[in-house]
Amino acid sequence: MSSSSTFMSSCSTSSPLSLHFKFKFKFPSISQPSSLSTVQFGAKSFRISSSTINCQISGKNRVCDINRRKGLLFTASLPFLLPFVEEFGAKAVESGGSNEYLIVKEEAAKVVSKGKAAGVLRLAFHDAGTFEIDDKSGGINGSIVFELERPENAGLKKSLKVLEKAKSQVDAIQPVSWADMIAVGGAVAVSVCGGPSIPVSLGRLDSMEPDPEGKLPEESLDANGLKRCFQRKGFSTQDLVALSGAHTLGSKGFGNPNVFDNSYFKILLDNPWKSSGGMSSMIGLPSDHALVEDDECLRWIRKYADNQNLFFEDFKKAYVKLVNSGARWKSL
Protein backbone atom coordinates (compact mmCIF):
# COMPACT_ATOMS: atom_id res chain seq x y z
CA MET A 1 0.00 0.00 0.00
CA SER A 2 1.29 3.48 -0.77
CA SER A 3 2.20 5.92 1.94
CA SER A 4 -0.93 7.93 1.39
CA SER A 5 -4.55 7.42 0.40
CA THR A 6 -6.56 9.84 -1.67
CA PHE A 7 -10.14 10.76 -0.69
CA MET A 8 -12.43 12.16 -3.39
CA SER A 9 -15.52 14.15 -2.40
CA SER A 10 -18.49 14.61 -4.67
CA CYS A 11 -21.17 17.08 -3.65
CA SER A 12 -24.65 17.44 -5.01
CA THR A 13 -27.92 19.07 -4.03
CA SER A 14 -31.38 17.56 -4.26
CA SER A 15 -32.74 20.67 -5.96
CA PRO A 16 -33.64 20.55 -9.66
CA LEU A 17 -30.20 21.96 -10.41
CA SER A 18 -27.49 19.41 -9.60
CA LEU A 19 -24.06 20.53 -8.54
CA HIS A 20 -20.98 18.34 -8.80
CA PHE A 21 -17.49 19.22 -7.68
CA LYS A 22 -14.52 17.36 -6.20
CA PHE A 23 -11.94 17.80 -3.52
CA LYS A 24 -8.81 15.72 -3.06
CA PHE A 25 -7.52 15.01 0.41
CA LYS A 26 -4.48 12.86 1.26
CA PHE A 27 -4.11 10.99 4.52
CA PRO A 28 -1.52 8.51 5.75
CA SER A 29 -2.37 4.97 4.69
CA ILE A 30 -4.06 2.71 7.23
CA SER A 31 -3.57 -1.02 7.45
CA GLN A 32 -6.99 -1.70 8.97
CA PRO A 33 -10.28 0.17 8.81
CA SER A 34 -11.63 1.27 12.14
CA SER A 35 -15.25 1.17 13.19
CA LEU A 36 -17.62 3.72 11.73
CA SER A 37 -17.51 7.16 13.33
CA THR A 38 -20.10 9.91 13.16
CA VAL A 39 -19.69 13.64 13.60
CA GLN A 40 -22.62 16.07 13.39
CA PHE A 41 -22.36 19.70 12.30
CA GLY A 42 -25.55 21.42 11.18
CA ALA A 43 -27.56 21.64 7.95
CA LYS A 44 -25.86 19.26 5.54
CA SER A 45 -25.07 15.57 5.50
CA PHE A 46 -21.59 14.30 4.71
CA ARG A 47 -20.84 10.61 4.34
CA ILE A 48 -17.21 9.54 4.11
CA SER A 49 -16.16 6.04 3.08
CA SER A 50 -12.68 4.70 2.55
CA SER A 51 -12.48 6.24 -0.88
CA THR A 52 -15.46 8.55 -1.29
CA ILE A 53 -16.99 11.50 0.47
CA ASN A 54 -20.58 12.19 -0.55
CA CYS A 55 -22.15 15.51 0.30
CA GLN A 56 -25.92 15.66 0.26
CA ILE A 57 -28.33 18.29 1.47
CA SER A 58 -30.60 16.07 3.50
CA GLY A 59 -32.08 17.50 6.64
CA LYS A 60 -30.99 19.53 9.58
CA ASN A 61 -27.77 17.74 10.51
CA ARG A 62 -24.42 17.36 8.86
CA VAL A 63 -23.34 13.79 9.41
CA CYS A 64 -19.89 12.41 8.65
CA ASP A 65 -19.45 8.64 8.48
CA ILE A 66 -15.79 7.68 8.41
CA ASN A 67 -14.43 4.23 7.71
CA ARG A 68 -10.81 5.08 8.46
CA ARG A 69 -9.41 6.29 11.72
CA LYS A 70 -7.29 8.93 10.11
CA GLY A 71 -10.33 10.14 8.25
CA LEU A 72 -11.25 11.90 11.46
CA LEU A 73 -8.67 14.47 10.48
CA PHE A 74 -10.92 15.35 7.57
CA THR A 75 -13.99 15.74 9.76
CA ALA A 76 -12.09 18.22 11.86
CA SER A 77 -11.62 20.33 8.76
CA LEU A 78 -15.26 20.16 7.68
CA PRO A 79 -16.40 23.28 9.58
CA PHE A 80 -13.85 25.23 7.55
CA LEU A 81 -14.88 23.64 4.25
CA LEU A 82 -18.64 23.91 4.72
CA PRO A 83 -18.86 27.67 4.21
CA PHE A 84 -17.15 27.18 0.84
CA VAL A 85 -19.51 24.35 -0.09
CA GLU A 86 -22.56 26.33 0.98
CA GLU A 87 -21.45 29.49 -0.81
CA PHE A 88 -20.63 27.60 -3.99
CA GLY A 89 -23.92 25.71 -3.91
CA ALA A 90 -25.98 28.78 -3.11
CA LYS A 91 -24.49 30.77 -5.96
CA ALA A 92 -24.96 27.93 -8.41
CA VAL A 93 -28.57 27.40 -7.39
CA GLU A 94 -29.17 31.14 -7.58
CA SER A 95 -27.63 31.24 -11.05
CA GLY A 96 -29.65 28.26 -12.22
CA GLY A 97 -32.80 29.71 -10.71
CA SER A 98 -32.16 32.96 -12.57
CA ASN A 99 -31.84 31.11 -15.88
CA GLU A 100 -35.03 29.21 -15.16
CA TYR A 101 -36.81 32.45 -14.32
CA LEU A 102 -35.69 34.06 -17.57
CA ILE A 103 -37.12 31.16 -19.56
CA VAL A 104 -40.48 31.41 -17.79
CA LYS A 105 -40.54 35.19 -18.10
CA GLU A 106 -39.65 35.17 -21.80
CA GLU A 107 -42.33 32.62 -22.66
CA ALA A 108 -44.92 34.55 -20.65
CA ALA A 109 -43.97 37.77 -22.43
CA LYS A 110 -44.64 36.09 -25.78
CA VAL A 111 -48.29 35.44 -24.94
CA VAL A 112 -49.25 38.23 -22.53
CA SER A 113 -50.15 41.19 -24.73
CA LYS A 114 -51.45 44.50 -23.40
CA GLY A 115 -54.98 43.46 -24.28
CA LYS A 116 -54.66 40.25 -22.25
CA ALA A 117 -52.69 41.70 -19.35
CA ALA A 118 -55.63 42.65 -17.13
CA GLY A 119 -57.05 39.12 -17.20
CA VAL A 120 -53.68 37.50 -16.49
CA LEU A 121 -53.04 39.85 -13.57
CA ARG A 122 -56.52 39.10 -12.22
CA LEU A 123 -55.71 35.37 -12.51
CA ALA A 124 -52.69 35.86 -10.24
CA PHE A 125 -54.73 37.85 -7.72
CA HIS A 126 -57.46 35.22 -7.58
CA ASP A 127 -55.05 32.30 -7.20
CA ALA A 128 -53.09 34.00 -4.41
CA GLY A 129 -55.94 35.90 -2.76
CA THR A 130 -57.47 32.85 -1.06
CA PHE A 131 -54.71 32.78 1.58
CA GLU A 132 -55.71 32.97 5.25
CA ILE A 133 -53.14 33.25 8.03
CA ASP A 134 -55.17 31.62 10.80
CA ASP A 135 -55.79 28.28 9.12
CA LYS A 136 -52.87 28.59 6.67
CA SER A 137 -55.18 27.68 3.81
CA GLY A 138 -55.19 28.89 0.23
CA GLY A 139 -52.57 31.06 -1.34
CA ILE A 140 -50.55 30.94 -4.53
CA ASN A 141 -50.69 27.25 -5.39
CA GLY A 142 -52.20 26.89 -8.86
CA SER A 143 -55.50 25.70 -7.40
CA ILE A 144 -57.26 28.26 -9.60
CA VAL A 145 -57.23 25.60 -12.35
CA PHE A 146 -59.86 23.73 -10.29
CA GLU A 147 -61.88 26.84 -9.42
CA LEU A 148 -62.75 28.36 -12.79
CA GLU A 149 -66.47 27.57 -12.48
CA ARG A 150 -66.85 29.73 -9.37
CA PRO A 151 -68.77 32.97 -9.99
CA GLU A 152 -65.93 35.16 -8.75
CA ASN A 153 -63.61 33.59 -11.34
CA ALA A 154 -65.83 34.22 -14.33
CA GLY A 155 -63.79 34.99 -17.44
CA LEU A 156 -60.52 33.56 -16.15
CA LYS A 157 -60.59 30.49 -18.40
CA LYS A 158 -59.33 32.65 -21.26
CA SER A 159 -56.48 34.01 -19.16
CA LEU A 160 -55.49 30.52 -18.06
CA LYS A 161 -55.41 29.39 -21.68
CA VAL A 162 -53.12 32.31 -22.49
CA LEU A 163 -50.61 31.14 -19.88
CA GLU A 164 -51.13 27.50 -20.83
CA LYS A 165 -49.42 28.24 -24.13
CA ALA A 166 -46.39 29.62 -22.33
CA LYS A 167 -46.37 26.82 -19.77
CA SER A 168 -46.31 24.14 -22.47
CA GLN A 169 -43.25 25.80 -24.01
CA VAL A 170 -41.47 26.00 -20.66
CA ASP A 171 -42.41 22.41 -19.75
CA ALA A 172 -40.71 21.23 -22.93
CA ILE A 173 -37.46 22.63 -21.51
CA GLN A 174 -37.99 22.17 -17.77
CA PRO A 175 -41.09 21.55 -15.65
CA VAL A 176 -42.75 24.63 -14.17
CA SER A 177 -45.62 24.65 -11.69
CA TRP A 178 -48.87 26.48 -12.40
CA ALA A 179 -48.23 28.55 -9.28
CA ASP A 180 -44.89 29.80 -10.66
CA MET A 181 -46.33 30.32 -14.14
CA ILE A 182 -49.22 32.40 -12.80
CA ALA A 183 -47.01 34.44 -10.44
CA VAL A 184 -44.59 35.30 -13.25
CA GLY A 185 -47.44 35.88 -15.69
CA GLY A 186 -48.99 38.49 -13.43
CA ALA A 187 -45.65 40.29 -13.10
CA VAL A 188 -45.20 40.27 -16.87
CA ALA A 189 -48.72 41.66 -17.30
CA VAL A 190 -47.75 44.66 -15.18
CA SER A 191 -44.45 45.36 -16.95
CA VAL A 192 -45.80 44.93 -20.49
CA CYS A 193 -48.30 47.71 -19.76
CA GLY A 194 -45.64 50.12 -18.54
CA GLY A 195 -45.61 49.21 -14.87
CA PRO A 196 -42.62 48.25 -12.72
CA SER A 197 -40.49 45.20 -13.44
CA ILE A 198 -41.20 42.69 -10.68
CA PRO A 199 -38.72 39.83 -10.07
CA VAL A 200 -40.47 36.65 -8.94
CA SER A 201 -38.80 33.73 -7.18
CA LEU A 202 -39.52 30.24 -8.49
CA GLY A 203 -40.03 26.94 -6.72
CA ARG A 204 -43.71 26.95 -5.70
CA LEU A 205 -45.55 23.66 -5.54
CA ASP A 206 -49.02 23.15 -6.99
CA SER A 207 -52.06 22.05 -5.05
CA MET A 208 -53.93 19.02 -6.32
CA GLU A 209 -57.31 20.27 -5.10
CA PRO A 210 -59.29 23.53 -5.01
CA ASP A 211 -58.94 26.01 -2.17
CA PRO A 212 -61.89 26.58 0.19
CA GLU A 213 -64.60 28.82 -1.20
CA GLY A 214 -65.44 32.30 0.03
CA LYS A 215 -61.86 33.40 0.69
CA LEU A 216 -61.53 36.18 -1.89
CA PRO A 217 -62.40 39.78 -0.89
CA GLU A 218 -65.98 40.57 -1.86
CA GLU A 219 -66.64 43.48 -4.19
CA SER A 220 -69.38 44.78 -1.90
CA LEU A 221 -67.19 45.21 1.20
CA ASP A 222 -66.81 48.64 2.76
CA ALA A 223 -63.38 49.97 3.76
CA ASN A 224 -63.43 48.44 7.24
CA GLY A 225 -64.46 45.09 5.82
CA LEU A 226 -61.70 45.26 3.22
CA LYS A 227 -59.08 46.12 5.81
CA ARG A 228 -60.14 43.24 8.06
CA CYS A 229 -60.15 40.86 5.09
CA PHE A 230 -56.65 41.88 4.03
CA GLN A 231 -55.36 41.74 7.60
CA ARG A 232 -56.44 38.09 7.78
CA LYS A 233 -54.22 37.53 4.78
CA GLY A 234 -51.24 39.34 6.31
CA PHE A 235 -51.58 42.63 4.42
CA SER A 236 -51.57 46.17 5.79
CA THR A 237 -53.85 49.00 4.73
CA GLN A 238 -50.99 50.32 2.62
CA ASP A 239 -50.74 46.93 0.88
CA LEU A 240 -54.50 46.98 0.30
CA VAL A 241 -54.41 50.37 -1.39
CA ALA A 242 -51.29 49.60 -3.44
CA LEU A 243 -52.69 46.30 -4.71
CA SER A 244 -56.02 47.95 -5.51
CA GLY A 245 -54.07 50.07 -7.98
CA ALA A 246 -54.05 47.02 -10.26
CA HIS A 247 -57.58 48.08 -11.22
CA THR A 248 -55.97 50.70 -13.42
CA LEU A 249 -55.82 47.87 -15.99
CA GLY A 250 -58.91 46.51 -17.66
CA SER A 251 -62.43 47.75 -18.18
CA LYS A 252 -63.17 49.27 -14.80
CA GLY A 253 -62.89 52.80 -16.16
CA PHE A 254 -59.68 53.99 -14.51
CA GLY A 255 -57.81 55.59 -17.40
CA ASN A 256 -56.32 53.70 -20.34
CA PRO A 257 -57.25 50.00 -19.85
CA ASN A 258 -53.90 48.90 -21.31
CA VAL A 259 -51.61 51.21 -19.33
CA PHE A 260 -50.38 50.50 -15.82
CA ASP A 261 -49.97 53.85 -14.08
CA ASN A 262 -51.38 55.81 -11.13
CA SER A 263 -54.55 56.93 -12.93
CA TYR A 264 -56.60 54.75 -10.59
CA PHE A 265 -55.77 56.95 -7.61
CA LYS A 266 -56.25 60.23 -9.44
CA ILE A 267 -59.69 59.16 -10.63
CA LEU A 268 -60.65 57.87 -7.17
CA LEU A 269 -60.05 61.37 -5.79
CA ASP A 270 -62.46 62.81 -8.37
CA ASN A 271 -65.32 60.52 -7.28
CA PRO A 272 -66.77 60.37 -10.82
CA TRP A 273 -69.34 57.72 -9.88
CA LYS A 274 -71.14 60.36 -7.83
CA SER A 275 -72.06 62.29 -10.97
CA SER A 276 -75.61 61.94 -12.21
CA GLY A 277 -76.03 59.31 -14.93
CA GLY A 278 -73.71 58.61 -17.82
CA MET A 279 -70.77 56.23 -17.99
CA SER A 280 -69.01 57.97 -15.10
CA SER A 281 -71.39 56.38 -12.61
CA MET A 282 -70.19 52.94 -13.73
CA ILE A 283 -66.50 53.52 -13.01
CA GLY A 284 -64.98 51.09 -10.54
CA LEU A 285 -66.40 48.59 -8.08
CA PRO A 286 -68.18 49.36 -4.80
CA SER A 287 -65.00 48.28 -3.02
CA ASP A 288 -63.02 50.88 -5.00
CA HIS A 289 -65.46 53.62 -4.04
CA ALA A 290 -65.27 52.57 -0.39
CA LEU A 291 -61.51 53.19 -0.16
CA VAL A 292 -61.93 56.95 -0.63
CA GLU A 293 -64.37 57.07 2.29
CA ASP A 294 -61.75 55.80 4.74
CA ASP A 295 -59.23 58.29 6.14
CA GLU A 296 -56.38 55.77 6.39
CA CYS A 297 -56.90 54.53 2.83
CA LEU A 298 -57.36 58.08 1.57
CA ARG A 299 -53.93 59.05 2.90
CA TRP A 300 -52.28 56.41 0.68
CA ILE A 301 -54.53 57.19 -2.29
CA ARG A 302 -53.35 60.79 -2.21
CA LYS A 303 -49.69 59.78 -1.94
CA TYR A 304 -49.94 57.46 -4.92
CA ALA A 305 -51.92 60.00 -6.95
CA ASP A 306 -49.10 62.50 -6.39
CA ASN A 307 -46.18 60.11 -6.83
CA GLN A 308 -46.34 57.33 -9.42
CA ASN A 309 -42.84 56.10 -8.60
CA LEU A 310 -43.88 55.57 -4.98
CA PHE A 311 -46.92 53.62 -6.15
CA PHE A 312 -44.77 51.46 -8.43
CA GLU A 313 -42.32 50.68 -5.64
CA ASP A 314 -45.03 49.83 -3.12
CA PHE A 315 -47.04 47.82 -5.63
CA LYS A 316 -43.95 45.79 -6.49
CA LYS A 317 -43.36 44.93 -2.83
CA ALA A 318 -47.02 44.11 -2.22
CA TYR A 319 -47.21 41.93 -5.34
CA VAL A 320 -44.17 39.89 -4.30
CA LYS A 321 -45.76 39.46 -0.89
CA LEU A 322 -49.03 38.40 -2.54
CA VAL A 323 -47.52 35.75 -4.80
CA ASN A 324 -45.50 34.32 -1.91
CA SER A 325 -48.52 34.11 0.41
CA GLY A 326 -49.32 30.55 1.37
CA ALA A 327 -46.82 29.14 -1.09
CA ARG A 328 -45.34 25.71 -0.47
CA TRP A 329 -41.80 25.62 -1.81
CA LYS A 330 -39.62 22.93 -3.25
CA SER A 331 -37.03 21.80 -0.71
CA LEU A 332 -33.38 22.15 -1.68
Q: How far apart are CA 128 and CA 185, in angstroms?
A: 13
* Burial of residue 303, with CB atoms counted within 10 A of its CB: 0-12 exposed, 13-18 middle, 19 or more buried: middle
Strand partners of residue 11 = 55
Residues 6+ apart with CB under 8 A from 102: none
Cα end-to-end span (Å), the chain: 40
Q: How far apart are CA 206 and CA 322, in angstroms?
A: 16
Task: Look at residue 59 and give its three-state secondary structure.
Answer: coil
Task: Look at residue 184 and give its three-state secondary structure.
Answer: helix
Q: How far apart are CA 117 and CA 121, in angstroms?
A: 6
Which amino acid, one-letter code, is at 229?
Answer: C
Catalytic residues: 126
Please count the other Cβ atoms lying within 10 Å of the Cβ belonging to residue 161: 11
Q: How far apart are CA 243 and CA 314, in angstroms?
A: 9
Task: Look at residue 172 and give its three-state secondary structure.
Answer: coil
Contact 8, 24 (CB under 8 A): yes
Q: How far apart are CA 195 and CA 120, in angstroms?
A: 14
Element (H, E) at 48: strand 45-48
